[in-house]
Amino acid sequence: MGLSMAAAESWVRRWERQQQRYAVDREERFTVIADVVEEVARDRPRPHVLDLGCGPGSLAARLSARIPRAEIVAVDMDPLLLELARTHHADAARYVDAEIGAEGWTEALALGRHLDAAVSTTALHYLSEHTLRRTYEKLAELLRPGGVLINADHFPQRASGHARITAHVGRCRAERQRVFVHEDWDSWWAAAARDPELADLLAERARRGPITEAGEELPPSRHTELLHAAGFQHAAPVWQFGNSHVLVAIR
């Protein structure tokens, strides 16, 4: 299932453009995540970081460039996206094929020591509340005291009127940045399906099937409640634009 570097570079570049449609101020969001990891790991000689739902390595690559001494473990269940990461961002992280929240997923990481940070961007919303609760509990066990969980995603508000306004603010920002001129999620995958070099990886992806559970859009307040119940001391957004947040929880 190996990919050529040229193919991986081309598809990752298209992925980066496509994802701008779905994450308000995506590059700023990445920068904020790196800011938090850098601060938490300031005195750590070799910061240990887990990238949850790493996709083709977008966040791992940026963290590695920003904090070269970090040891990054990146996990995802999508064989195509993982192969893109392993080929195009080979030196950024150690990549692990596992489904977040599934039985034994933390053992598959083979971490060996406590984490300084666990990071995620637009990934954990795929989990049901039940699985998310268990995932937060596992991450609390993996993080050292004072370590952080950083979850960057779109978080709806409880009040429908406020939710509508915050979503509108985010869309307006995206329109001003002209991100909607790029291909969308469906067209990216449709184009990938026409590339013979990706055929084996796509076949494996189809064999595994979709995520077996439906994700839930939970407001920041509910995430905070789940994080406190899981053993985190503090949890609050450190950055927000519209309904896009960077939520930080301290172990």
Mean pLDDT by 10 residues, the chain (251 residues): 89 95 89 98 96 98 98 97 98 97 95 98 93 97 98 83 76 76 91 97 92 74 96 95 92 97
The structure tokens listed for 86 are 């392993």
Q: Quote the CA–CA distance of 197 and 138 in Å, as a whole number.
A: 37
pLDDT in the model for residue 213: 60
pLDDT in the model for residue 134: 96
Q: Quote the CA–CA distance of 66 and 24 in Å, as a whole number.
A: 21
The structure tokens listed for 57 are 């390595």
pLDDT in the model for residue 214: 60
For the segment 42-101, what is each residue's pLDDT rounded down to a tens digit? 999 999 999 999 999 999 999 999 999 999 999 999 999 999 999 999 999 999 999 999
Question: How many domains is the chain built from?
Answer: 1
Closest CA to 151 of 6, 23, 9, 15: 23
pLDDT in the model for residue 123: 93
Tokens 């950055």 correspond to 239
pLDDT in the model for residue 158: 72
pLDDT in the model for residue 1: 55
CATH number for 30: 3.40.50.150
Q: Which domain holds residue 36?
A: 5-250
pLDDT in the model for residue 121: 95
Whole-angstrom CA distances from 40 to 48, 238, 250 are 11, 14, 10
